[in-house]
Homo-oligomer: A and B are copies of this chain.
Amino acid sequence: MRFLLSNDDGYFSPGLEALAHALRTLGEVTVVAPERDRSGASNSLTLDRPLIVRRAPNGFYFVNGTPSDCVHLAVTGMLDVQPDMVISGINIGANMGDDTVYSGTVAAATEGYLLGVPSLAVSLVSKSPQDFSAAAYVTRRLVERLLSKPLSRQAVLLNVNIPDLPLPQLKGYRVTRLGRRHKAEPVIPAKNPRGETVYWIGPAGKAAEAGEGTDFHAVAEGYVSITPLQMDLTHYELLPEVEGWLQETGAP
């Protein structure tokens, strides 16, 4: 069993270390992660320059690229054998609802999925986690269950969010849909030393649709949230309406 691990916080992240440690006894672990923090990288691929791989003293590989670059490079060229599973994380901070669009953690797993490998994105719902041990345990158990009984699809993409609670306080698992956030908060203006205005991207919006069945709800209740994801962005419901609109508004 071969695991490919990545993340978006950088190869030195304690969350990644905890993940590697947790999975090592289940199979062969290879880590290929960004050389620096790439949170918010989404599915970006580096197309304007080549990538280089280096090896840290602990055996982790690091790449001067994005989370997607790391998994892409590992699966399509660097590794001799295709991994059986891609696991991205353990991210410091939630990736729920619309966050999944921007998340580099989710993107690393997405890249595995699009390349045909079952993939997990794992996030710990805390901005300053005290302890990765519960999250590492949970991830290990999920991987064991996937190994003992694979989900029927050849490649599945699961987005896992884990409350920052001691293991005994976790209430269990919930299969969820993504919630929705309110619009992002406004950019935050500041001045640089030359007196020019600069803008920081502001925080994500608060949860807007966080009812029963959503990832927001499950985590708030103390459950591990598991959301299966797919990457076909077609808005199928809207196809007939757009079709009608096109006919109605006439010739080109």
Q: Give the interface of A toward B (CB within 8 A).
A: 12, 14, 35-37, 39-53, 56-57, 64, 66, 68-69, 72-73, 76-78, 98, 100-102, 104, 107, 110, 114-116, 127, 138, 141, 145, 148-149, 151-153, 156-159, 170, 172-173, 175, 177-178, 180, 183-190, 192-194, 196-203, 226-236, 238-239, 241-243, 245-246, 248-250, 252
Contacts and interface: CB of A to CB of B under 8 A. Distances in A.
Contact of A36 (B36, B157, B227): B36
Contact of A201 (B47, B148, B183): B47
A238 B43 contact: no
Given A46-B201, A76-B184, 18 more contacts: A14-B57, A44-B102, A50-B192, A51-B199, A69-B201, A76-B186, A76-B187, A101-B110, A116-B183, A127-B194, A151-B245, A172-B252, A177-B236, A178-B234, A190-B190, A193-B202, A228-B239, A231-B233
B175 A239 contact: yes
Contacts of A145: 245-246, 249-250
Contact of A42 (B107, B170, B200, B227): B107
Contacts of A107: 42
A77 B189 contact: yes
B41 A241 contact: no
Contacts of A236: 177
A190 B227 CA distance: 38
A42 B40 contact: no
Contact of A37 (B48, B56, B101): B48
Contacts of A51: 187, 198-201
A171 to B, nearest CB: 10
Contacts of A115: 183-184
Contacts of A152: 241
A116 B51 CA distance: 33
Q: Most chain-B CB neighbours within 10 Å: which of A44, A158, A231?
A: A44
Contacts of A12: 12, 56-57
A237 to B, nearest CB: 8
Nearest to A188: B193
The 8 A-B residue pairs with the shortest CB-CB distance, nearest first, are A77-B187, A50-B198, A49-B49, A230-B235, A42-B43, A145-B249, A228-B235, A42-B42
A206 to B, nearest CB: 14
A248 B35 CA distance: 39
Given A48-B52, A56-B12, A102-B44, A242 B229 contact: no
